[in-house]
Structure 1
Amino acid sequence: MGRFGYVGIMVLGFLGLISSGEAQLKLNYYATSCPKAEEIVLDYVNKHIPNAPSLAAALIRLHFHDCFVRGCDASILVNSTSSNRAEKSAAPNLTLRGFDFIDRVKSLLEAKCPGVVSCADIIALVARDAVVVTGGPSWSVPTGRRDGIVSKASEALTNIPPPTSNFSTLQTLFGNKGLDLKDLVLLSGAHTIGVSHCPSFSNRLYNFTGKGDEDPSLDHAYATNLKARKCKTPTDNTTIVLMDPGSSRTFDLHYYELVLKRRGLFQSDAALTTSSTTKAYITELVNGPLQTFFDEFAQSMIKMGQVGVKTGSAGEIRKQCAVINS
């Protein structure tokens, strides 16, 4: 049996392994309190994402950035106030999108079931449905998360892996959240859709070691093309660059193929090939059926979606996702 040999294990079987502390999350949590909650979310995603496909990646990223700070508690959605600089204002989050999308879904749910569905659950459900709309896998999202009442920009700076991360940094930051190297590889696979801007990787093109040099781990032809056609200056913050050129709107294995060809856009992408373990994972995925990636990605998303969740009487159910209840 290979590293990904347990593909046949059902997602529900995986859920059965959840520790008792996290087991308060459950499938169909809103079955009685708001029976149409997940249907409302799905309908909205299906209606709007096909018209704005790049937003799918943004919504997955929103979920990722939320879970890596204080757990999956929607703290990423909170606005700053005169007395508090919230996560949303931290440098790693300044390019996040999708806040209005979440707010609109929340409004629909509040109209149907006031004070029932958490913003944290909305983020998790929207991320899943956005993956499905782009041709990716579906999975059962356990719900019952409650919204956090603390959001600090300083915590985002220390917990969210930057695109300039080396392997050691990635391993540490993922490990701090209970995510292993397999999860690191699989969750990085979300880079198969979406876009970036030059400042997130331009050091690899123009000044990798501070001497005006190019990152030797980046394919030279690819780097030359990026400098000539996209990032003509290191600080260009307006040009859109595809993370998976040639397959940026389809949830598939093409991103991993690029990584093995030294054409991953970010330093953190290239870092995945500096470990024999993660490089072997990637090679196995590329050489296997697409369904293997789908099954494994789904399980890692379920796992990430339960990092540090608040349930029971912890936190609150926000009336507005951007504002902590007074």
Structure 2
Amino acid sequence: MALFLHSKLLHDHLPFMLLVFFSLGACRLHASDPPLTLDYYASTCPTVLETVRKEMECEVQSDPRNAAMILRLHFHDCFVQGCDGSILLDDTMTLEGEKKASANRNSLKGFEIVDRIKNELESECPGIVSCADILTIAARDAVILVGGPYWDVPLGRKDSVTASRALSDSNLPTPDENLLSVISKFLYQDLSVTDMVALAGAHTIGMARCASFRSRIYGGFAATSGHDPASESHLNSLKSICPPKGADNNITAMDYETPNLFDNSFFHILLKGEGLLNSDQEMYSNVFGIETKQLVQKYAAEPIAFFQQFSDSMVKMGNIANPDSFTTGEVRRNCRFVNT
């Protein structure tokens, strides 16, 4: 999807823009129409949706942050090789997993939740439900359980027998990334600018590590939030959590207003210039982001529109396919290891 840019800015940065969009033409795994259906397990494992929901209810009741953890796992899975459960694989002597990639190391949790759901389903209908499908269903249920929208989840994914640490490092957006770079990574997955802004709204739940927002609070935070005393007080609070050096693993909520509720307050925070991550705030503050700014304003004003688009974009992201998984994929008995 083209960005709506001022003509002078477009002219000044045309070589870079051409480079970004030309690179998108390279061969890749397209979000297509994989052979997924809503009733895939109707006869082979009819209790799958209920089982996942019950387990997620327990997990989110015990700690609401578990919802964000599962949602993030699903996102990080789909952006690498498609939604094929590759993010769940542990390193072995013969396989290098994705968990230790720079974009994943120290930031992904919730693997044990997937393990528990898998174990339950293996006792009910062994060898039937893929780990990739479990993660996709669990992400949907996680959102619902903290107040977010419902969407139907097409099923029938197979689990990949491979993983790619290199693709994790190259495909996943980073917290300090600029707007055009993040957009290019979404377009690479056949996800539009609208999808990107809506999916970024998932940051209405969840936490971020100090290492992910240090450069933001000691750099451009004041420039985007102005001199509002409330913003200055919030910035000082963030600096007390995240000093200039050390304390990399200290965490704070990306949505400080309603951190455990899936709503549209994340977009209100961006309007105030107080986005915790640079990659988020740039959707509203970057001079190139004419379209993204309009979408942030829209979702801040219209929560129903945000919920609807988020649901649509989650289905679209969940349909990103790894073609190889449909020919060489499997249903893992243990989500951490390929079958032997």
* Structure 1 Cα separation of the partners of residues 245 and 292 of structure 2: 30
Q: Which residue of 2 aligns with 1:118?
A: 130
Q: Secondary structure at the match of 2:223?
A: coil
Q: Which residue of 1 aligns with 2:102?
A: 91
Q: Output the TM-score relative to the length of structure 1.
A: 0.88
Letter in 1 for 2:192: D
* Structure 2 Cα separation of the partners of residues 24 and 162 of structure 1: 31
Q: Which residue of 2 aligns with 1:149?
A: 161
Q: Secondary structure at the match of 2:275?
A: coil
* Structure 2 Cα separation of the partners of residues 173 and 250 of structure 1: 27
Quote how far apart the aligned CAs of 1:205 are: 2.8
**CA shift in 2, pair 1:148/1:285, >3 Å:** same
**CA shift in 2, pair 1:309/1:28, >3 Å:** farther
Q: How big is each residue's C-alpha offset from its partner over 1:73-96, in whole Å with a ceiling of 9 and x where there is no partner?
A: 000000012343211111111120
1:306 aligns with 2:333: no
Decide which moves more: 217-226 or 148-157.
217-226
Contact 2:45 / 2:128 at 8 angstroms: preserved in 1? yes
What does 1:1-326 correspond to in 2, within 5 Å? 22-94=33-105, 95-206=107-218, 208=219, 216-217=223-224, 221=232, 222-227=234-239, 229-273=240-284, 274=286, 275-288=289-302, 290-310=303-323, 312-326=326-340
**CA shift in 2, pair 1:70/1:312, >3 Å:** closer
* Structure 1 Cα separation of the partners of residues 35 and 226 of structure 2: 47
* Structure 1 Cα separation of the partners of residues 118 and 98 of structure 2: 20
* Structure 2 Cα separation of the partners of residues 264 and 116 of structure 1: 42
Quote how far apart the aligned CAs of 1:22 are: 1.9
Q: How big is each residue's C-alpha offset from its partner over 1:220-239, in whole Å with a ceiling of 9 and x where there is no partner?
A: 61433311x31134331332
**CA shift in 2, pair 1:219/1:85, >3 Å:** farther
Contact 1:218 / 1:270 at 8 angstroms: preserved in 2? no
CA RMSD of aligned residues (A): 1.8
Contact 1:204 / 1:218 at 8 angstroms: preserved in 2? no
Q: How big is each residue's C-alpha offset from its partner over 1:189-214, in whole Å with a ceiling of 9 and x where there is no partner?
A: 000011111000101233x4xxxx86
* Structure 1 Cα separation of the partners of residues 203 and 180 of structure 2: 20
Contact 1:22 / 1:309 at 8 angstroms: preserved in 2? no
* Structure 1 Cα separation of the partners of residues 191 and 31 of structure 2: 18
Contact 2:32 / 2:320 at 8 angstroms: preserved in 1? no
Contact 1:187 / 1:300 at 8 angstroms: preserved in 2? yes
How much identity, in percent, do the aligned residues show?
38
Q: How big is each residue's C-alpha offset from its partner over 1:32-52, in whole Å with a ceiling of 9 and x where there is no partner?
A: 110111110011111221111
Letter in 2 for 1:87: E
Quote how far apart the aligned CAs of 1:312 are: 4.4
Letter in 1 for 2:99: K
Q: Output the TM-score relative to the length of structure 2.
A: 0.84
Q: Which residue of 2 aligns with 1:3?
A: none
Q: How big is each residue's C-alpha offset from its partner over 1:129-184, in whole Å with a ceiling of 9 and x where there is no partner?
A: 00000010011000000001111211100111111111111111000000000000
* Structure 1 Cα separation of the partners of residues 328 and 141 of structure 2: 26
Contact 1:198 / 1:234 at 8 angstroms: preserved in 2? no
Q: Secondary structure at the match of 2:336?
A: coil
Quote how far apart the aligned CAs of 1:314 are: 3.8
Quote how far apart the aligned CAs of 1:262 are: 0.6
* Structure 2 Cα separation of the partners of residues 286 and 198 of structure 1: 26
Quote how far apart the aligned CAs of 1:218 are: 5.3
Q: Which residue of 2 aligns with 1:16?
A: none
Contact 1:118 / 1:318 at 8 angstroms: preserved in 2? yes
Quote how far apart the aligned CAs of 1:215 are: 6.5
